[in-house]
């Protein structure tokens, strides 16, 4: 009798979760899909010279003005990044000249993440400005991740080339062609629009550097290609079939069930699906074995069960361990305009 009660409770839990999925969790913003379509269209027009290498040469490419940061701030970044196993490209051995050379361009293209360290004298160097232009090209054409770091400068001054930052830039522009100046300005505007790190928002450089290193480590981990399912026969054909069912370009709610006896690869397919597509969603969660994780007391009424499940669900989805769900309308309100992927493993 105990086993039977536990089993029916688990089935009820799974049904509640699935019901929630159908009414709340897969709503998608039309705007985000339009952006995806625009991006997909632009990819077909890429410059053939812009393509990611088969293997990454560096984790991070930092663009900076050496005199401002090399001896202090940058040295602390290097130390913190290396302690986390993050490799930065440093151009000490490259001979600098007016135009940046092919070696540096390849280093930019061969880095997963570019960090633009914008300091007061950053634009005093045409070399730095040329680096920035190449970085923004890689961001636009290759989807490279770019992190802007405003070190003792205001993002508005970078965007509008005003204040001390602007004075330095205007001095550099003297004698330069209108074409070069226009390209530099455009790159500065674009990098200033990126939500980044502002040194004035941290009490100490050490705190900010620690947060940046943690963020970079997270981004690297989530951008790394998965090798979990290499060698599994037939996994790609299954991914193709399920991918067509997902219809990622659709605004509709999609619910897909993978059924069958133990040992046929259901979990492997679900995990591969999650690993491959979770980055396409604003929020995602893989709930492994509802039966083991969510044992609901037999005396719970229907409302209490739903409230409990929603609390557990939101805690996993948002990474908030102490989240409060006072009523059933909270989850719908929080996620109604979000693009969410939920994978549930129900083992009876």
Give 16-65 pLDDT, tens digit per residue.
444 444 434 433 333 333 333 332 222 223 344 444 444 578 899 999 99
Tell me the DSSP string of 259-328. Answer: ---TTSSHHHHHHHHHHHHGGGSSEEEEE--HHHH----TT--HHHHHHHHHHHHHHHHHT-TT----ST
Tell me the DSSP string of 93-152. Answer: TSPP-SSPPHHHHHHHHTEEEEEEEE-TTGGG-HHHHHHHHHHHHHHHHH--EEEEEESS
The answer to whether position 305 is within a domain reads: yes
Percent of the chain with pLDDT over 70: 74
Give the residues across from 88 on adjacent strands: 60
Same domain flag for 81 and 205: yes
Its domain, for residue 133, covers: 58-223
Same domain flag for 80 and 207: yes
Same domain flag for 66 and 200: yes
Query: How many residues can be counted in the chain?
Result: 348
Dmax of the chain from CA atoms? 88
DSSP assignment letter at 26? T
The answer to whether position 140 is within a domain reads: yes
Cα–Cα distance for residue pair 155/161, rounded to 1 Å: 9
Q: Residue 283, class by beta-carbon neighbours within 10 Å (0-12 exposed, 13-18 middle, 19+ buried)?
A: middle
Same domain flag for 74 and 120: yes
pLDDT of 166: 96
Same domain flag for 70 and 208: yes
Same domain flag for 296 and 171: no
The answer to whether position 49 is within a domain reads: no
The answer to whether position 96 is within a domain reads: yes
Same domain flag for 63 and 201: yes
pLDDT of 270: 81
Same domain flag for 112 and 202: yes
Same domain flag for 68 and 199: yes
pLDDT of 248: 73
pLDDT of 175: 93
Domain count of the chain? 2
Asked whether 291 and 348 are in contact (CB, 8 A), the reply is: yes
320 annotated active-site? no
Cα–Cα distance for residue pair 146/137, rounded to 1 Å: 11
Q: Which stretches in the chain have pLDDT values below 70?
A: 1-55, 92-100, 222-235, 291-299, 347-348
SS3 per-residue string spanning 183-239: HHHHHHHHHHHCCCEEHHHCCCHHHHHHHHHHHHHHHHHHHCCCCCCCCCCCHHHHH
The answer to whether position 327 is within a domain reads: yes
Cα–Cα distance for residue pair 137/330, rounded to 1 Å: 41
Same domain flag for 20 and 64: no
A 10 A CB-CB count for 247 gives 10
Active-site residue among 80, 131, 134, 190?
Answer: 131
The answer to whether position 42 is within a domain reads: no
Same domain flag for 218 and 266: no
Cα–Cα distance for residue pair 320/297, rounded to 1 Å: 23
The answer to whether position 78 is within a domain reads: yes
Q: What are the distances in angstroms from CA 286 to CA 23, 343, 345? A: 19, 5, 8
């Amino acid at each position: 009798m105990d086993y039977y009660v536990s089993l029916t409770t688990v089935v009820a839990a799974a049904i509640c979760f699935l019901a929630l999925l159908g009414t709340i969790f897969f709503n998608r913003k039309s705007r985000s899909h339009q952006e995806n379509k625009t991006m997909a269209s632009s990819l077909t027009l890429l410059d053939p010279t812009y393509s990611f290498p088969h293997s990454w040469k560096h984790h991070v490419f930092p663009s900076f003005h050496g005199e401002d940061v090399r001896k202090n701030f940058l040295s602390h970044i290097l130390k913190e990044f290396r302690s986390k196993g993050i490799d930065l490209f440093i151009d000490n051995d490259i001979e600098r000249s007016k135009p940046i050379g092919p070696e540096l361009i390849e280093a930019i293209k061969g880095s997963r993440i570019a960090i633009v360290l914008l300091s007061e004298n950053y634009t005093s160097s045409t070399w730095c400005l040329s680096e920035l232009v190449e970085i923004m090209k890689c961001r636009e054409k290759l989807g490279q991740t770019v992190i802007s770091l405003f070190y003792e400068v205001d993002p508005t001054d970078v965007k509008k080339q005003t204040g001390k930052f602007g004075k330095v830039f205007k001095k550099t522009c003297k004698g330069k062609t209108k074409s070069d100046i226009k390209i530099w300005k455009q790159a500065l505007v674009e990098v200033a629009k990126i939500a980044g790190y502002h040194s004035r928002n941290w009490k100490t450089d050490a705190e900010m550097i620690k947060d940046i290193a943690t963020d970079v480590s997270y981004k690297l981990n989530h951008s790394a290609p998965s090798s979990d399912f290499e060698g599994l026969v037939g996994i790609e054909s299954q991914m193709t079939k399920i991918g067509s069912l997902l219809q990622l370009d659709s605004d509709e709610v999609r619910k897909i069930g993978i059924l069958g006896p133990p040992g046929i690869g259901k979990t492997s397919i679900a995990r591969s699906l999650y690993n491959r597509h979770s980055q396409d969603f604003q929020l995602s969660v893989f709930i492994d074995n509802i039966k083991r994780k969510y044992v609901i007391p037999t005396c719970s009424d229907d409302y209490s069960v739903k409230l409990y499940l929603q609390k557990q669900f939101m805690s996993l989805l948002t990474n908030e361990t102490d989240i409060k769900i006072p009523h059933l309308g909270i989850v719908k309100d929080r996620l109604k305009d979000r693009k969410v992927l939920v994978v549930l493993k129900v083992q009876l």
